[in-house]
Amino acid sequence: MNAHGPIPILRVGSNLLTTVHIDLHDTVAEAFQQDVLLAIERTGATGLVIDITGLEEVDTYVARILADTGRMAKLMGAQTVVVGMRPEVAATLIRMGYMMEGVETALDVDEGLTLLIERQAKKRRST
């Protein structure tokens, strides 16, 4: 495993918040994905914010892990927002033709949570 221990997953209301501060590679990525999904299963969260402010580099592998995690969470009924992507990271991903389909993105944690909360409120109103 990695020297930093598991990536913490926090509960904020009906959403989950996790800040990725270490490189998401191989076993770390697998464990992260599993932890996030199990947390959704356990809490019944309807939203998930993945904060990647701490990542200086995001290659297509990591981008795919993030997108996949988002789509898996969606199957379990949780909407995912990836936040805090650095401008150079965004530029690199676009240059490589990777658009992160299937997940939403927002500027930072605050915006991400607001987006989820607004969406959930709207859903409740519509019913």
Partner 1 sequence: MRTLRTRLGFDQRELQSRRAFFDIQDEDLARLAELRELALKHMDDINEEFYTHLLSHPETKRFFPDDATIRRVKRLQREYFLGLFEGRCDLEYVENRLRVGAAHEQIGMSPRWYIGAYRKYLSQLLDRFTNELPVGEGRIGYDSVLKLIMFDMSLAIDAYIAANLETLGRHQAAIRELSTPVIKVQDRILLLPLIGAIDSQRAQQVMETVLLRVIEEKAKVMIIDIAGVPVVDTKVADHLMKTTAAMRLVGAQTILTGISAQVARTIIQLGVDISAMPTLARLQDGIELALSMLGQQITKAST
Binding site for partner 1 (CB under 8 A): 33-34, 37-38, 40-41, 44, 46, 68, 71-78, 126-127
Angle at 97 between CA 90 and CA 50, to 5 degrees: 40
46 vs 105, which CB is nearer to partner 1?
A: 46
Contact assessment for residue 25 and residue 61, using Cβ atoms and an 8 Å cutoff? yes
Min CB(123)–partner 1 separation in Å: 8
Min CB(70)–partner 1 separation in Å: 9
Min CB(16)–partner 1 separation in Å: 12
Angle at 13 between CA 103 and CA 1, to 5 degrees: 60
